[in-house]
């Protein structure tokens, strides 16, 4: 597996440990579980900084976590869910040594009406993964 894929797989595994459903790269399902839903998007690695001798590519990869809550107490549930993501990331900012640093940015929540059902509260949470590799394709 490439460095990038290893990091994204590890991040997804960390999100899967939270008391909610965590998917990777999936479409939003028709029903949101009562405990909420997280969807990890691979995002963009961006242009790396390059150092020579030894050759290294230094990325600030921007992945995204879509957080979705549905129900009557969605404001409190959304707050608890985003706080748990922050706590999970802060517990190991290197993902076991795979990254130099990982940090989440503040979510920008929106309320989305759903015809015939409780509204959704959703946000995209950008996550910046700082890592280096010897080859941009490995």
Residue 87 has pLDDT above 80, yes or no: yes
* Tally: H helices and E strands in the chain: 2, 7
Helices 3-16 + 74-91 axis angle, to 10: 130
> 103: which strand partners?
128
Instruction: Give the pLDDT score at 34.
Output: 86
pLDDT value, residue 115: 80
- Per-residue pLDDT band for 119 (boundaries 50, 70, 90) equals confident
Half-sphere exposure of 24 (CA within 13 A, CB side): 14
pLDDT at position 30 is 83
Query: Is the pLDDT reported for residue 118 higher than 80?
Result: no
Higher pLDDT, residue 74 or 7: 7
pLDDT of residue 81: 95
Q: Take residue 45 and report the two structure tokens written for it.
A: 């690695």
Q: Measured between alpha carbons, how far is 24 from 65 in angstroms, rounded to an integer? A: 9
What pLDDT does residue 73 have? 87
Residues 6+ apart with CB under 8 A from 127: 11, 43, 62, 63, 64, 65, 89, 102, 103, 104, 105
Distance CA(71)–CA(75), nearest Å, equals 9
């Amino acid at each position: 597996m490439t460095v990038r894929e290893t990091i994204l797989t590890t991040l997804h595994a960390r999100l899967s440990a939270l008391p909610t459903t965590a998917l990777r790269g999936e479409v939003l399902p028709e029903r949101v579980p009562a405990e909420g839903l997280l969807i990890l998007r691979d995002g963009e690695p961006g242009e790396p900084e390059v150092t020579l001798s030894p050759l290294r590519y230094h990325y600030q990869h921007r992945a995204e976590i879509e957080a979705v809550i549905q129900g009557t107490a969605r404001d409190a549930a959304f707050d608890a869910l985003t706080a748990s993501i922050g706590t999970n990331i802060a517990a190991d900012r290197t993902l076991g040594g795979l990254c130099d640093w990982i940090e989440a940015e503040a979510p920008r929540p929106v309320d989305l009406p759903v015809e015939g059902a409780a509204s959704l509260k959703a946000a995209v949470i950008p996550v910046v993964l700082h890592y280096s590799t010897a080859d941009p394709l490995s």
